[in-house]
Structure 1
Amino acid sequence: MDPRSEVLLRQAELFQGPLLLAGLPADDLLGQLPEAQGWSWHAGEQAQLATRFAGRCQFAVSPPATDFQGAVLFLPKSRELTDYLLNSLAARLPGGELFLVGEKRAGIERAAKQLSAFGKPRKLDSARHCQLWQVRIEQTPASPELESLARHYELPLADGPLKVVSLPGVFSHGRLDVGSALLLEHLNRLPAGHLLDFGCGAGVLGATLKRRYPDSQVSLLDVDAFAIASSRLTLAANGLEAEVIAGDGIDAAPRGLSSILSNPPFHQGVHTHYQATENLLRQAAAHLQKTGELRLVANSFLKYPPLIEQHLGPCQTLAEANGFRIYRAQRN
């Protein structure tokens, strides 16, 4: 059981009615709270919850339409995303109770101050290196429009400016990160066919690929619902069409790809998390056609070349700058 769920269950009497659990972990909490519903924006956790608790959890960027008398938000990493989620929930709970739970090292005490916009917050519990806070909604906010919170910027690329639409919670929100900037400079001579942007974020790489290789099929894949929504907005802003897939890791990707391109994440919440990238390197060959290519950018300190060579083929360093390297390998 996730420690945040354990803290909730220490106060189980507070959570017996119709309740919405927002950003819940994929544990047995829904089993312990039979009247609760879930709202997830993580495709992997949603899949696990859907298997165990069919029909009781929704994957989306906005709260489900079902009625709930109280809500619990599991603190996400992004302060801006926290603000959107809290306002979305509070708007549905006039006079109701909103709870916030999270790890101390994730900044729960700082985030709890955001509850004061709705009423007087109070700390209910502190255990398992987590805290549980509660506020009764005395000042009901208007329901926020997610797209109005997007950050828009343009990238001056060689074939013209690319419009990017970034939603709260998406990696490198509102700006181009250093790794992606380096990878964008090395997208030449890709084999024709089906291209995949793995871990697409706001869709910068996928949109660039579709514009540069218009005759190629392009797919974008991410685990996060807000990234999926951002990628769709970025594609639309540039008049482009591509497949956008919500899925947890390379297992969700199509087969027979000509290229996989990625600036893979190695953080999940406040935790360092390499599993998605390591699974990508181990299984890329199964998703690539013969002579298909993997091209990714990563921090220089990450020891990926041995894993690439073990599972795919000889690894070439295409470029190195600002603490990042671009690796290229072709399926044997």
Structure 2
Amino acid sequence: MSLLEITDLAISAGDLPLVDGVTLDIQAGEIVALVGESGSGKSLTALSVIGLLGEGLDITRGQIRFDGATYLGAEAQDMARIRGRDLSMIFQEPVSSLNPLMPIGAQVAESLIAHGVTSASAAKDAAIDMLDRVGIPDPKRRAEQLPAELSGGMCQRVMIAAALISQPRLLIADEPTTALDVTIQAQILDLIADLAQEDGTAVLMITHDMGIVAEMADRVCVMYGGRVVEQGAVDAIFSAPRHPYTSMLLRTIPRLDHPPKQELFAILGNVPSPKNWPQGCRFKTRCDRQSTACDIAPVLTGDYHHRTACFHPLSEM
């Protein structure tokens, strides 16, 4: 049984649909990458899982199950019992996610104390240790400082420490290595991989970096226009992408074997606004394989190893 199961999830802002029919699952110890351009609905999907959708956003359809229990629409106190302990999230904007009036050590230790995992003294020691593990220099001194005294990159590391300290059963990582240098990025990604491998933590990784996906993920879920267009095992997606959009995403990865002066590939156009989503396949306005068949929305077909929502998949070439 999957630890997390999302089935036919739809999210709207009033009458405006933002996410439409997302279905995915994550096993314990598995890393699933959720990829796609900005505006594809990745972060909204993640926020719905942890129960933190903003005001005016509503789940209008679907089901979310964690460890076999349905908790979509659960009372705030029920979510509070598992959020920060069983479910943790690394947010995309660290500065706005940290309390500006609380020392960072206290913020990292907060979930351990709130959930009664350990004493305040032990939680403080654990926080200092975790700050050290995410690359904060002089962690004992830094633990007493406020977020304003740290750089943006350090604030990112603080938020990662706060998410990892409870050894959650499910970690949602939304662009977790933004603003970090290459060395610290590798250190953080190794920490997340260790959680999955050694502790059995399930990880939902949201990223634009297909290199990170290739290195870390077990499976990939590609989103476009609020829908899942392709999903499957990472080796299947990278070696033989079926959806034209997935193929284009992979072509944007810089390659060492390309001629040095060759221009990098860029996907023409932009993800359409939800106010202007085309009827049927939402990628058709940027796709060179579109036909009249694409005026109807395709559904995911295939097996668990590799599924695609396209009337003209690349396997037909």
TM-score, length of structure 1 as denominator length: 0.26
Bigger share in helix: 2
TM-score, length of structure 2 as denominator length: 0.27
Task: Return the structure number with greater relative CO, CA threshold 8 A, min gap 6.
Answer: 2
Bigger share in strand: 1
